């Protein structure tokens, strides 16, 4: 779960998806998940953190 309402994630190089604030997201073994702060207005997206499951 996330504590930020502005995060988004990508699984295995796919499209960026808004990370739900109040729900869990399940991943499969072998998934590579990238998480970043979403872009807002003139501010670009944040640095990407990569997690290997």
In terms of C-beta density within 10 A (0-12 exposed, 13-18 middle, 19 or more buried), how is residue 27 classed? Answer: middle
pLDDT tens, residue by residue, 1-53: 455 678 999 999 999 999 887 888 999 999 999 999 999 999 999 999 999 99
Report how far residue 14's alpha carbon sits from residue 3's, in angstroms, rounded to the nearest whole number: 23
Structure tokens at 8: 């988004």
pTM: 0.82
Q: Terminus-to-terminus CA distance in the chain, angstroms? A: 15
Beta strands in the chain (DSSP E): 7-11, 17-18, 32-37, 49-52
């Amino acid at each position: 779960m996330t504590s930020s309402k502005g995060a988004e994630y990508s699984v295995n190089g796919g499209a960026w998806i808004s990370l739900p604030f109040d729900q869990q997201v399940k991943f499969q073994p072998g998934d590579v998940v990238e998480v970043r702060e979403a872009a807002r207005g003139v501010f670009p997206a944040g640095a990407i953190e990569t997690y290997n499951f």
